[in-house]
Amino acid sequence: MQTHTQWLAVQSKRGLYDSQSQTFQISMGNFMQGRQSCSTLSGYFGWASLNSELNDKICIFQGYPIPFVIRPTALGDFELIGDAYVHGFMEGEAMRLSDGPLEMIRLV
């Protein structure tokens, strides 16, 4: 049988959880506005602009730590679609994944 003190401790924890949960939900709601889930061919998961489409590319621009979604054009250039969150790419990790040379692209 639960004592009154134990019941109060549970209620206190529940109140703290509810408060933190609500803060998290508000933050995620603000972040998710205008975004959809995405995944890469190599199995990374994240969030990208609602304008993102199948076969768009995720890239990291040299000197900028977050990924961007770009779309190839018919002329071989790229259109910038928007920024993205890709789990495992957010703090320069992607630069360590590739041992290939940097590639120059042209954004239009």
Q: What is the pLDDT of residues 7-57, one digit of tens each?
A: 777 777 787 777 778 887 888 777 788 899 999 888 889 999 999 999 999
pLDDT of 77 reads 93
CB crowding 47-84: b at 16 or more within 10 Å, else e: bbbeebeeebebbbeeeeeebbbbeeeeeeebeebeeb
Hey, where are the domains in the chain? 1-33, 35-108
Q: Is the pTM of this model over 0.85?
A: no
